[in-house]
Amino acid sequence: MSQSNNPRTWEAYMENGMALTPLRPGTKAATLEGWSKRENAVNKLGDLGKINGSAGVLLAFCRTPLMSLDIDNRPLADEWLQERGINLDGLLSKPGAVQIDSGRERRAKLLYKTPEVMRTHKIIDEGVTVLEFRCGDSKGGSVQDVLPPSIHPDTGEPYKWKGDWRLIPEVPTELLAVWKSHVGPRLAVVEAEQPEPEPLSDTDRVRIVDALTRIEPGNSYDTWLEVGMALHDKTAGSDAGFELWDRWSA
C-alpha cells in the first residue's frame, strides 16, 4: 500500500485538528459537492472512507484555523514583500517553518496558525500571480491546499513536507498586518454560530467621525492600518465600520 493510500496518513492529520476534503487523485479538484462548506468537512474518523488517496486541508475549518502564504513567483514575491518590510528568505529559512513542497521551481507554500479566519487575497502584478494569502472565502467557506503525500498534477510526484506539520507556527504579526491592509477590516469569519454585529448607534457614529476628522489620513501607512484595525474592533467587523474607514482613507 502506497503512502498516499494509507488511511493512517489522513487519520493522523485529523487527530491533529485538520479538516480535510477528498480530491480526485492526481488533481487539485475536490470531489464532494459543497466541499467548501463547514458541514461537508471531513474531520471525523468515521468519514475516513470518503478519502481515496488524495486530500486537501480546509484551512478555515481546522481546530485552530490555518492560513497559507502561497508563493507563485518567488522573485516577484520577494520584491513585493520586501517593499513591505518582510524578508521572504527569512520566513522560509526560519527554524520551525512549515512548508508544503510541490517540487516546482520558484514556488513555495508556508503554513501558519492564524488567530482569525481571513478572506483569501491574491496579489497580481501586470497579469502575473505573485502570491496569495489563503484561508477563508467571501461566503463564509474555506479554500483548500493539497496535502502530502497527494500527487501533484504537473510533476506526477508527491507533495512533501518541509518542517514538522504537527508544530505549525503562529503567523508573524507583520505578515498578518500586511494581509489585513489588503482585505480591510472586514474579515470573512467562518463560524456558523457567528452572531450579526450590533448596528452602529447614531451616537457612536458621530463620535467616531469626529475622532477621524482629527487624524490626517496621509500621516503614514502604520497610522492608516491602525485606524482600520481599531474601527474593526470597535464595530465588531461590521460593514458600517469598513465604510467609515474607507471614507476616511479616501
The residues facing 22 across adjacent strands are 55
State the CB neighbour count (10 A cutoff) for residue 226.
Answer: 14
The torsion angles phi and psi of 205, rounded to 5 degrees, stand at -60, -45
- Residue with the bigger pLDDT between 194 and 93: it is 93
Q: Which amino acid is at 21?
A: T
The residues facing 101 across adjacent strands are 160
Mean pLDDT of 16-33: 94
The torsion angles phi and psi of 13, rounded to 5 degrees, stand at -60, -50
pLDDT at position 220 is 58
CA-CA distance, 204 to 179, in Å (whole number)?
28
Share of the chain above pLDDT 70, in %: 81
The residues facing 68 across adjacent strands are 111, 134
Residue 227: which pLDDT band, with cuts at 50, 70 and 90?
confident
Residue 236: which pLDDT band, with cuts at 50, 70 and 90?
low
- Spatial neighbors of 189 by CB under 8 A, at least 6 apart, are 116, 117, 136, 140, 237
Give the tens place of pLDDT for each residue, 177-226. 999 888 765 444 443 344 455 666 777 777 888 787 877 755 555 566 66
pLDDT at position 247 is 75
Please work out, in degrees rounded to the nearest 5, the angle formed at the alpha carbon of residue 144 by the alpha carbons of 54 and 25: 20
Q: Which amino acid is at 125?
A: D
The torsion angles phi and psi of 90, rounded to 5 degrees, stand at -65, -40
pLDDT at position 100 is 97
Cβ atoms 69, 131 nearer than 8 A: yes
pLDDT at position 11 is 92
pLDDT at position 24 is 93
Residue 172: which pLDDT band, with cuts at 50, 70 and 90?
very high
Whether the predicted pLDDT of 2 surpasses 70 = no
pTM: 0.73
pLDDT at position 124 is 92
Please state, in angstroms and as integers, the Cα–Cα distance from residue 11 to each residue in 48, 49, 168, 195, following that order. Answer: 7, 10, 18, 32
For 225, the 3-state DSSP assignment is helix
pLDDT at position 239 is 67
CA-CA distance, 36 to 139, in Å (whole number)?
10
Whether the predicted pLDDT of 90 surpasses 90 = yes
Place of cell 510533476: 155
Cβ atoms 249, 215 nearer than 8 A: no
